[in-house]
Amino acid sequence: MSQELVAIGGGGFLMEDLSGLQERYLLTLLRRRATRPRALFLGTASGDGERAQLRFMKLFTALGCEPSTLPFFPYEMKRDYGQAVRDADLVYVGGGNTVAMVAVWREFGFDADLHAAWQDGTLLCGISAGANCWFERYITDSVPGGGTREGLGWVPGTFCPHLDSEPWRQPLLEQAGPPAYGAPDGVMVRFAGGRFVEAVTSREGRQAVRKSDGPAQALDTRLLAA
């Protein structure tokens, strides 16, 4: 079964873009065509802030989904977190502190739940910290001065979000070993089984980049239709 994963550099409903372009693209990738796809939001990286959860619920309801959230702050002791992600068609991970989020997931064994759901066909996607976490390494502002840290390791290489809006990130991307991917705000990079499939953008003129043996090179990046 295809293991689909989408890493989002920035933009979307969490960054004031309520056009729904990014989110409608995600829904085209679902393993099954449900009447009301089940979309689950993880706001762990931002401490489960209410604003992000409400935005997710509002937009994905408007897109015809059955949305829900899965908070760790506070932790819902009687809830089956593993079943919640296995039941979802789409899991969307919000931005914030990647280092803290990954640590929380590992403490609760939740990374294993996510991995099992992904292997079973649940679409995993996320923005900023929610994009970083899937890779072997990621470039982050979640540490003093910014730096590179280890992620869950499900996608080979390094990922860097917000490539165009935070100039300090570009040199770290160039220093990373191959493969390394960078995504400006508005750009989404899709993988299947850990392998690159395509890059798309909701903002005209924005392109993903990939670093192989030499300097990072722009990838063909398809503009999503309004």
The answer to pTM > 0.85 is yes
Sign of CA dihedral 37, 43, 48, 54: negative
pLDDT in tens, 34-79: 789 999 999 999 999 999 999 999 999 999 999 999 999 999 988 9
Catalytic residue among 46, 142, 162, 202: 162
Task: Spell out, as residue ranges, where the chain has pLDDT lower than 50.
Answer: none
Based on the structure, what is the number of domains in the chain?
A: 1
Catalytic residue among 2, 46, 115, 128: 128
Is 115 a catalytic site residue?
A: no
- For residue 102, the model assigns a pLDDT of 98
The range of the structural domain enclosing residue 93 comes to 4-223
- For residue 1, the model assigns a pLDDT of 58
CATH number of the domain bearing residue 205: 3.40.50.880
| Category of 20 on φ-ψ map: left (φ > 0), alpha (ψ -120 to 50) or beta | left
- For residue 107, the model assigns a pLDDT of 97
